[in-house]
Amino acid sequence: MTKTITLLLLLLTTTIGFSQQQINGEITDNNGIPLGGVNVLIRNSSKGTISDFDGKYSLEATAQDTLEFSFMGFRTQLIPVNDQSVINIILIEDSSQLNEVVVTALGIKKEKKALGYAIQEVDGQKLEKAKEPNFVSSLTGRVAGLNIQNSTDLFQDPQISLRGASPLLVIDGIPDRTTDLWKVNSDDIESISVLKGATASALYGSVGRNGAIMITTKKGKKGKLTVTVNNSTMFQTSFIKVPDVQTTYGNGNQGVYAYVNGSGSGTEGGGWIWGPRLDQTDSSTPSGYFETPQYNSEVDPATGELIPLPYISRGADNIENFFRTGLIQTNNVSVDWGSEKASFRTSISNVYQKGIVPNTDLNNTSFNLGGSLNPSENLSINSSLTYNKQYTDNFPEVGYGPTNYLYNLILWTGVDVDIRDLRNYWREGEVGYQQRHFNISYYNNPYFQAYEYQRGYNKDNIFGNLNVEYKLTPHLSLKGRGGANVYSLNRTYKEPKSYIGYGDRSRGDFTVADATYFDITTDVGLKYDNHIADQIGISGELAYVNYYRQSTSHTTGTDGLNIPGFYNLDNNAGATFIASNREEKETIHSFYGFVDFDFYDTFYLSLSGRNDQVSTLPEANNSFFYPSVSASLVFTELLDTPKWITFGKIRGSWSQVSEGKIGNNPYSHIQAYEKGTSWNGVPSTFFGNELLSSDLKPETSDTWEIGLNTRFLNSRLGLDIAYYQTKDYNNLIYSSISQSSGYNSILLNGDEYKRRGIEVVLDGTPIKTKDFRWDAQVNLSQYRRYQEEIYGDREQTDAFIRVGDRTDKIYAGVYQTNEQGQVIFENGYPVSDPYSRFIGYNEPDLTYGVSNTLSYKNISLSFLFDGRLGGLMYSDTNQKMWWGGTSPGTVNQFRDDANNGESTFIGNGVKIVGGSVEYDVNGNILNDTRTYAPNDVPVNYINFMQTTSNGYNKNYHYYKEDFIKLREVTLSYNFTEKIISKLPFSDLSLSFIGRNLWLSSKIPNVDPDPGRDNLQAPATRNIGINLNAKF
């Protein structure tokens, strides 16, 4: 051991022994503008530096050395040192980024200009500063066609849709079919490539049918040993959108409220917020206000009755008083080193998120190890391994209902209740048995929920990959790759006694759910790469892949608890446990191959094919082949284009991809019995409602795509347009059949859809001077899906879609209207239409994102706006506010009248005074002799709202989804050389960061960003700082 060290030291000394000389210089572009951040490396060593903001660099080298200058978007240059001590260099801009390389399917690097399909890249640096708890949310607005609908709740996945479908997630070439968006820390991401179409990801096979989001992790760079520390701390200080509730009336019904026991009949247990006016003065009471018994009233020892308390708006600030400032803190330390022979990177990161709900948090820790090795010229190996742990003792339940915080806090709580009075959440003398709340039949005390209803989550992820490539001849290599994803997940659900679910008052319960998962993808193949003639290249691969997946899960729960608050299965109060388990295995055996040609750096052609054999279809039809072809032509090389066109390329592709798995269950192609409810211990089974066709085949999508990619004005302006069209056919659908046939549907190959869309990416550098630079990018996209065929002898689908219609048409239950569109009333109430009617479309007309970066010397400011235009979303929150009495719109004279027992509200519409109407089976009017008069029947306003939720005035609570959001602002300062030289850093930057800062939208009370309204947590503004230091 000592020997080795001595030897090493000796070697080191020897190296130092060469005569070192100081080299200085300045790096500029061909306009004379200094280039900062250029990598300057001594070739074949790990020594190097980076130029400062003024383009200056200095390092020590020997005369024998060669310096390598490399910078993104510029051609790399090699300069031998010889006896020079000043080496100034002009880097030639890679006009049009001609040779820019992107990562494509299976991790294969290709030149951008050679691509016949659309790929958009996001540099990992863009994700480094203003952090989201998961990296996918950070992609919002940055990629045209990638629509991300972010959740505002803690630890909830955003909805990702790429060209209207759910894309595959790929980590270092290995598909992650668990789609865990939390297991990769954004600090470990080198770059993200979004492969938009089926052609781009066809090599992944069926799972890549809807495109892919490919993550390349950092592997270690050639150069000196660098230690990077990155910290982001963000505070969730305020809300950009909170339901705006009225504070004029309190709990109760029909203007009356008197607490009895929290679940009584009449005005208190029903849980309405249709109570008396708050803050009414009353000179006859001690307080001077109207008084009534409330949940926190004391009992009069003389009479045994509750002593009335003043009924005032004490709880107007319940939201601010309950939620706390959330925190998202991200720390990452990485060590990075590389030489010609090997490179290595290791990092440790932790994301800690403190929820805005008290007693909720999330920890996400990762250890990552990655590196590459080139032991001989012919052999290269690279590998990475990550251990990731996601854990929390409690994170909030989401979705509409009594398990939701907003539900209990403002939607269904009048402001006569002050949340601060509820902090003591057990009823006196009933600790562990009965929560203390103003209503114990429908709602939970939010503090009781936060501190007693606990949902634990503990997931251990291990994933990694190993790639080996061995050159058999200069043109032919053998490749092998293996990648695995493993996790184990343990979840616990602790439910205290008296906890309220829908229709259920808990007797206390404890449930444990465990799951294990393992998948492995192994490839072996041959790779060929050659120039068969001058300027004509050919390359290709042929490979065999095996995919295997295995998962188990089991859940055991109690049927009530004996001892309150003791969460152990042994504490089960029931005779038996409620338990279930599941096991799944699945495999795919595939061959794939592709061949790429390039002619004169001008025309590129690529062909691919893949054959899958799957376990998830009946054996008769489980093997299938699908091809793709793509081409691109750099027309600026062929034609004599004007000088202002720097670069131009057209591309086109066609692909076919088939899918042999039905939904998520690998056994969907097997018909069998389901377990039914046991009755007093007697077991039962039943047969499901879906019949299977005996002849199931894979479903197939054919996609063609064309695109234009051009750059103008010396590359200052770029435009990329993509148009695609997909035909989905042989779809594995549950085609509905008459229920009288015994089944609701039959699983078969049928229906046909057309998907099409357009994506535009515009980028440019409007201003570029010595000190100032403005870069901008605009992403626009639109997506549509149409019904092309309906299986069977049917005019329309269950959702009333006909051939040629957009499939996102929304039909809803509405009220009957006359020819003029006036709502028809009977006895003062609107009359329901027995037929669902069309009310609008779901999909947006345009999804957009606009990002800007302004940099001046060491300071840069970037900001990102994004949003959607068009489309409708249903809002539970708004509907419930009108229904329950919290909507500010309910504050009016009619309500006061109703509180006085008077029926004064007359709905705007007509009543039938004669005649009748006949419909056909689809609800078309055959014969209508109805005559009308204006509705003149006054009704009780409260009854009216409780019956209608004001739906007929509010488009049945389908609201326009349009919005614009200021998604991100980052103000960064890179410390100058002068300051850094006095510090132990090689690089230091400080940024002020903000996410989710401002919103303008058409829908009231909710943030439309998630694309749906499940009464999610209020959307927060996140503001903080980021510190990045390199040693």
Site for other proteins in 822-851 (CB under 8 A): 826-827, 829, 831-832, 834-836
Query: Judged by CB, which is closer to other proteins: 104, or 668?
Result: 668
Pairing of the two strands 77-80 and 66-70: antiparallel
Instruction: Compare residues 456 and 560 and give the one whose CB is closer to other proteins.
Output: 560
| Amino acid letter, 524 | V
CB of 735 to other proteins, least distance (A): 9
369 SS3 class: strand
Asked if residue 441 binds other proteins (CB under 8 A), the reply is yes
Instruction: Name the residue nearer to other proteins (CB basis): 85 or 739.
Output: 739
> Least distance in Å: CB of 1009 to other proteins?
32
Q: Based on CB atoms, which residue is closest to other proteins, 404 or 855?
A: 404
**Using CB under 8 A, which of the segments 27-35, 212-220, 473-481, 851-859 binds other proteins?**
473-481
Residues β-bridged to residue 740: none
Site for other proteins in 727-766 (CB under 8 A): 736-744, 746
Both tokens of 522, joined, read 């192994």
- In the chain, the largest separation of any two C-alpha atoms, in whole Å, equals 109
Contacts of other proteins in 239-258 (CB under 8 A): 253-254, 256
The yes or no reply on residue 856 touching other proteins (CB under 8 A) is no
Of the pair 199, 253, the CB lying nearest other proteins is at: 253
Backbone angles phi, psi at 79, to 5 degrees: -130, 120
What is the DSSP annotation of 123-153?
Answer: EGGGGTSS--SSTTGGGTTTSTTEEEE---S
- 276 DSSP 8-state letter: P
Closest CA to 976 of 51, 237, 173: 51
CB of 399 to other proteins, least distance (A): 18
Taking the complex as a whole, the smallest distance from the CB of residue 474 to other proteins amounts, in Å, to 15
Stretch of 81-89, 130-138, 207-215, 938-946 lying at the interface with other proteins (CB under 8 A): 938-946
CA pair distance 63, 227, nearest whole angstrom: 29
Q: Measured between alpha carbons, how far is 718 from 777 in angstroms, rounded to an integer?
A: 9
Q: 1009 and 240 in contact (C-beta within 8 Å)?
A: no
How far is it, in rounded angstroms, from Cα 430 to Cα 425?
10
Which one among 12, 670, 713, 933 touches other proteins, defined by CB under 8 A?
Answer: 670
Write the binding mask 481 to 520 for other proteins: x where contact by CB under 8 A, - elsewhere: xx--------------------xxx--------------x
CB-nearer residue toward other proteins: 340 or 918: 918
In angstroms, the CA 611 to CA 595 distance is 15
SS3 label, residue 509: strand
Q: Compute how many residues bind other proteins; rule: CB under 8 A.
A: 120
Beta carbon of residue 467, minimum distance to other proteins (angstroms, whole number): 10
Which residues in the 620-659 window bind other proteins by CB under 8 A? 622
Query: In whole angstroms, what is the distance from residue 132 CA to residue 135 CA?
Result: 6
Instruction: Pick the binder of other proteins from 189, 810, 939, 1015 (CB under 8 A).
Output: 939
416 and 311 in contact (C-beta within 8 Å)? yes
3-state SS of 419-435?
A: HHHHCCCECCCCCCCCE
Residue 673 or residue 998: which is nearer to other proteins going by CB?
Answer: 673
- Nearest approach, Cβ of 300 to other proteins (angstroms)? 16
Residue with tokens 């005779």: 575
Binding residue for other proteins, selected from 433, 548, 591, 603, defined by CB under 8 A: 548
DSSP single-letter state for residue 182? T
Taking the complex as a whole, how short is the minimal distance between the CB of residue 486 and other proteins, in angstroms? 14
75, 589, 716, 857: which one binds other proteins (CB under 8 A): 589
Residue at 528: amino acid letter: Y
Is the Cβ of residue 371 or residue 757 nearer to other proteins in the bound state? Answer: 371
Amino acid code (one letter) for 732: L
Using only the alpha carbons of the chain, give its radius of gyration: 33
CB nearer to other proteins: pick between 164 and 483: 483
- Residues 286, 288, 792, 915: which binds other proteins (CB under 8 A)? 792
Q: Does 936 bind other proteins (CB under 8 A)?
A: no
Taking Cα atoms as reference points, which of 931, 921, 1015, 759 lies closest to residue 245? Answer: 1015
Q: Which is nearer to other proteins, 33 or 379 (CB)?
A: 379
Looking at the Cβ atoms of 824 and 1003, the one nearer to other proteins is 824
Nearer to other proteins (CB atom), residue 423 or residue 837 = 837
Alpha carbons 161 and 163: distance in angstroms, whole number: 6
Interface positions, 358-417, toward other proteins (CB under 8 A): 375-376, 378-379
574 near other proteins, judged by CB under 8 A: yes
Q: Does 613 bind other proteins (CB under 8 A)?
A: yes
CB 263, min distance to other proteins, A: 6
From 35-43, 355-363, 855-863, 939-947, span contacting other proteins (CB under 8 A): 939-947
Shortest approach of other proteins to residue 469 CB, angstroms?
8
Sole binder of other proteins in the list 599, 600, 673, 772 (CB under 8 A): 673
Among 667, 863, 992, 1031, binds other proteins (CB under 8 A): 667
In the complex with other proteins, the residue whose CB is nearer, 99 or 671, is 671
Do the beta carbons of residue 891 and residue 248 sit within 8 Å? yes
Q: DSSP of 948-966, one letter per residue?
A: HTTGGGTGGGEEE--EEEE
CB of 251 to other proteins, least distance (A): 13
Q: Does 680 bind other proteins (CB under 8 A)?
A: yes
Tokens 């609107």 belong to residue: 830
SS3 breakdown of the chain: % helix, strand, coil, rounded to 5? 10, 50, 40
Q: How far apart are CA 783 and CA 162, in angstroms?
A: 9
**Residue 433 is a binding residue for other proteins (CB under 8 A):** no
CA distance 768 to 316: 52
Considering only residues 329 to 348 of the shown chain, the ones binding other proteins according to CB under 8 A are none
DSSP 935: -
Pairwise CA distance, residues 763 & 250, whole Å: 54
Q: Does 913 bind other proteins (CB under 8 A)?
A: no
Cβ closest to other proteins, residue 554 vs residue 768: 554
Residue 16 near other proteins by CB under 8 A: no
* Residues 191-230 interacting with other proteins (rule: CB under 8 A): none
- Alpha carbons 574 and 562: distance in angstroms, whole number: 9
Rule CB under 8 A: say whether 615 interacts with other proteins: yes
Q: Which stretch binds other proteins (CB under 8 A): 93-101, 340-348, 534-542, 686-694?
A: 686-694
Task: Compute CA distances 293 → 296, 300, 358, whole Å.
Answer: 8, 11, 29
| Alpha-carbon separation of residue 696 from 208, 619, 680, 699, 1019 (angstroms) | 21, 10, 39, 9, 45
Give the side-chain half-sphere CA count within 13 A for 129: 29
Nearer to other proteins, 283 or 685 (CB): 685
Phi and psi, residue 878, nearest 5°: -65, -40
**682 touching other proteins, by CB under 8 A:** yes
| Per-residue contact flags (x/-) with other proteins for residues 277 to 316, judged by CB under 8 A | ----------------------------------------
> Is residue 990 near other proteins by the rule CB under 8 A?
no
Complete DSSP assignment for 411-474: IT--TTS-GGGGSS-BPTT-TTT-B--S-SSS---HHHHHHHSEEEEEEEEEEEEEEEEEESSS
| Window of 91-99, 104-112, 210-218, 262-270 that interacts with other proteins by CB under 8 A | 262-270
Which of 83, 298, 534, 793 touches other proteins (CB under 8 A)? 793
Position 611 contacts other proteins (CB under 8 A): no
CB 371 within 8 A of CB 383: yes
Kindly state the DSSP code that residue 643 receives in the 8-state scheme: T
